[in-house]
Structures are given as structure tokens and as C-alpha cells.
Amino acid sequence: MSNSPEKLFKKASNKHKKGDHAAARLLYQRNLKRYPEHVDSLYMLGTLYAEQGNLQKAGSYLLQAASRAPRSPMIQNNLGNVYLQSGEYDEAVLCYQKTLKIDASVIEANYNLGQAFAQLGKLHEAIGCYEKSVAQQPHYFSAWFSLGKMALMLGQYEKAIAAFRKALVIQPNSLLTMHSLGSALAVDEQKDEAICCYERLLEIKPEDESAKHALATLKGERTERAPKGHISAVFDELSGNFEQHLGELGYKIPTLIYQSLIEQTSEDVAFKRMLDMGCGTGLAGPLFGKHAEALDGIDLSANMIELARAKGLYDHLERADYIEYLQQSDRRYDLMLATDVFIYQGDLKPVFQGVAESSLANGWFLFSIELSEGDDYQLCPTGRYAQSAAYIERLAKEFGFSVRAERDVTVREEQNRAVPGKIYLLQLE
């Protein structure tokens, strides 16, 4: 037994369980130096690296373990987890499917497979996995919650509401679940129940800005803008598959505005400095960046800023509120863009003022709105804001802009209907 790998492995495992990762790692490595084929040491060292966030090394050791023990469901499942965290979703799917083929009773595998499918945009497949997961373990909170989220995204409101209610039975004070249930109830036009849901949430967390905004929407109040904390939370959550989600909504606003600008100017139009307000993942960068000597982007979501940074198109990126940025920055721009930004800003007067004060001579201001038939702006039942054409024309005149172009557009497809809007190209006189 003294020459067996099991003795050293047991010692390493005990260190691992006690949280002494440094000692455990050294012992696993020492064991593998003597016994390179020891599957348990390969598996646990890979697991340890995964716990520490070193996904590259975790994957390397787990792959070695899987090659030596191809019928181990736990090795396949953990390897799938590494692929999932690394963004290699197709590989993750294969690992989880292998896990379930070896042993269909591994409860986590169905949930994990659902997570991988969700990341790939295969929402129906994800729902099927979550349903299997809760059938195996009825008190699996994360599976009920994820089932609700997928059903809500697919417009299956009855299923979503039922899943969120199940999740709340398991974790009665889950604020995220209350938010999601309130949203599902609201879109299913169960207004009174949605109001009760958000009021309960605010009893637990009175400072919750998203809940306050939702409650104002449901009660028909007209606020000037959505809370900044609400906006950043929404887009931090959406950042993982944001561009794919916009594609599903038929979102083409940056392209439509760009085409209109070229029609009004020329294909070789040039600008000194451009500001992309609410830049998101940087969808506008590839279109407009080639026409600007310098391209700046701002957004309230830290996750969105990082995704935009990864594109390598922006000269300066900053997490900031665009009104505060315009008021405080000493930079001046001859092109400012806001695509699908004003759905979170009802009162556009401070925006127009900030843009006018931050513009170079003859600077352009390009943006989109959802269209309201009212006098100025309204907070819609969706929680988004819409502005009227008369309101935009009034603000343009007040702050010295001429309307160079305007166009009726569909800003997105929502619940199988076109959401009407407008794009505007203004120029400072």
C-alpha cells in the first residue's frame, strides 16, 4: 500500500476538502509524476483548477482523465462544465449528452445541457432539458427558474408563470425570481398580480430601482427616465447573447441610420470625432468607425463595454450615463449617435441640450425612437418610452438643429407584431 497511488491521493483529497488548494495541487501533481495514468488524480486536479478559474489547465487534466475513463459520467459532466464556462457551447453539449448516455440519472447533467442549449439560442431544447431536470428533482430551484426564463423568452407565459411560482416555493425571497414572475405576469396582462409581486419585492428591498420602474409602468405613471441601476442590470444580464437576441427581434436600426447618413452625405464622408451613446456591444462601430478619425463609446453596462472593447474598434470606451457624460466631458463631436437608447429616456430635453453643447460646428445627431401618438413622450406598458414626431421637431427647433432626414421604421418585432418607430438625422445649424 505504501507504493500505491491511493495513499497520496487520499492525502491530497483531504487537503482539497479542507480548502488547502495549494497543498492539494502539489500532492496531486506529485502523484501524477509517479503515476501519470492515475485517473482520480487527473480528475481531481482538473476539478481543482476549474474551481480556481484556470479553465485551460482544468480542461487539459479533465481531457486526460476522460481518455483514460471514457465511461465516467462525472468526468464527462465536469469537462462539460469547463467547456460551458469557456464559451465552447457545442463541446459542452457533447459532453453532457455523453454523460446522460452513460448514466441518465445524473441530475445536474440535464440542467447543464439546458444551459448550453440556452447559450446556443436553442431555447426549445433548453426547455426540454429543464423539464427533465425538475422531473428528476422537483425541488431544483435553478432548473425551475431557468425553465421560466426560457418560456418567457418564447412567449409561453402560462408555463413561465407556473415555473417561477414553483421556484418561489423553494426560495420564497428570491428577488430575481420575483422580478421575473412580475415581468411574466405583466406581459400576460395580469396587471394586479404583477403589481402585488413588485410590491412584495419592494418590501424586501425598498431601493430596488428595476422594481420601482416596473411598478410605475404598471400603475400608468409617467416618469422622466428609467433608473440607471435598472438599465445597467438589464444589459449586464443580456450581454451574453445580446447580438443574437437582437437578430431574433429583426433589429436593423444602426444599418438603417448609416444608410440614411450616406444618402444625405456621401460614401466617403469623414468626421473628426464620433460619440456612440449607449454603444452596447459595439454594433455601430464597424459601420460608422471607418468614417471617424476617433470613435468614442459610452454605456451604463460594464459587461457591454467589455464586449465592445473586444471588437477593437473604439479609441475610447467608458462606463457612463450619457447625459452626465455630455455635461462633464470637455470633448467635442461632429457626429453623435444613439440607436435604440431613448426607449429608456422619456424626457429628451436634457439630451438635446447636452448634444448641442458638445457638438462641433455643423455636428450631426443621429438617433432612433419608438413612436408615440401623444404630445411629447409616454411610458409604455412594456416599460419602454416612446416619443412623438411633434416632440422631436419641437426640441430640434429649440436647440438649433435642422431635420436633415427622418424615416418611419420598424424598430423591432415583438410578440409577432412590428413596433413602429422613427430614425432621425439632425444637424446643428
Residue 241: pLDDT over 80: no
Predicted pLDDT of residue 236 = 67
Phi, psi of 221 (to 5 degrees): -80, 160
Give the whole-angstrom CA distance, residue 402 versus residue 335: 14
How far is 246 from 238, CA to CA, in rounded Å?
10
Place 189 in a pLDDT band, splitting at 50, 70 and 90: confident
Question: What pLDDT does residue 352 have?
Answer: 97
Q: What's the mean pLDDT in 325-329?
A: 93
256-to-231, 248, 368, 408 alpha-carbon distances in Å: 24, 17, 10, 11
What pLDDT does residue 323 have? Answer: 94
pLDDT grade for 249, boundaries at 50, 70 and 90: very low
173: phi then psi, degrees, rounded to nearest 5: -110, 25
- Alpha helices by DSSP H, listed for 251-348, are 253-264, 285-288, 302-311, 322-328
CATH fold group of domain 138-221: 1.25.40
Integer Cα distance of 99 and 401 in angstroms: 62
Mean per-residue pLDDT, 67-71: 93
pLDDT at 243 over 80: no
Q: Which residues pair with 297 in a beta bridge?
A: 276, 317
Place of cell 464622408: 269
Per-residue pLDDT at 348 exceeds 50: yes
On the question of pLDDT at 335 being above 80, the answer is yes
CB 343 within 8 A of CB 280: no
Write the CATH number of the domain with boundaries 237-428: 3.40.50.150
Could you tell me the pTM of the whole model? Answer: 0.74
Q: Which pLDDT band, with edges at 50, 70 and 90, does 231 fall under?
A: confident
Q: Is the pLDDT of residue 221 over 50?
A: yes
The domain locations on the chain are 138-221, 237-428
Q: What is the pLDDT of residue 379?
A: 86
- Indicate if 237-428 has the same CATH topology as 138-221: no
Distance, CA of 236 to CA of 240 (rounded, Å): 8
